[in-house]
Amino acid sequence: MPIRTAVVPLSEIYELRWAVLRPGLPRESAEFAEDGGPHTFHLAAYEGEEPAVLGCITVFPDPFPAPHPLSAAAFRFRGMASAPEVRGRGYGAAVLAAATRESAARGARLLWCNGRTEATGFYKSQGFSVVGEEFVIEGVGPHLVFSREIQG
C-alpha cells in the first residue's frame, strides 16, 4: 500500500514522537519550544488511507548553526520518527521528502537537523552531509548535525 503524507496538527503526531524518541521519559520531554511557532509545520505518514500515524517530523525556520551562505534560508527539522513496526519500509524517507518539498515551497534552501549518530547511514542515503563533531544530548544520546541544500 502506498505511503501517504500530510501536514497535520501537532496533536496528531505527538504520541508517536514521544513513544519513539523519548521512551521512558515524561511526556513533556517530547515537547519542543518550536512546536507552536508561527512558521512551524508537522507532517505525518500513513499507510494508504489508514488513520494510524506511522511516521512524523516537525519543521521550522532556524538559521544554520555554522557559517553557511544559505544560513538565513535554513529550515530545521526535529522529532522525526517511524513506528517500530514499519522501520526500514520508507516511512522516514517519505516524511523527510514531504518535509523537503514543503520547506522549499516556504522558501527554504537549506535543511538541517541534530540527528542521532546511529541514523548517520539513513541521513547520508537521503543526501545529507555531517557537519562538525559528535555531541551528546543528555537523556537522549550521541548526535551529529546533518545538512543538505534543497531546491526551490
CA separation, residue 78 to residues 48, 51, 100, 116 (Å): 24, 22, 13, 11
Look up the pTM and report it.
Answer: 0.92
Residue 142 CA to residue 115 CA, distance in Å, equals: 9
Mean pLDDT of 124-150: 91
The total domain count for the chain is 1
Q: For 93-135, what is each residue's pLDDT tens digit?
A: 999 999 999 999 999 999 999 999 999 999 999 999 999 898 8
Range of the domain at 11: 3-149
Q: For 4-16, what is each residue's pLDDT tens digit?
A: 999 999 999 999 9
Q: For 34-88, what is each residue's pLDDT tens digit?
A: 999 999 999 999 998 889 999 999 999 999 988 888 888 999 999 999 999 999 9
Output the domain CATH number for residue 145.
Answer: 3.40.630.30
Residue 5 CA to residue 14 CA, distance in Å, equals: 16
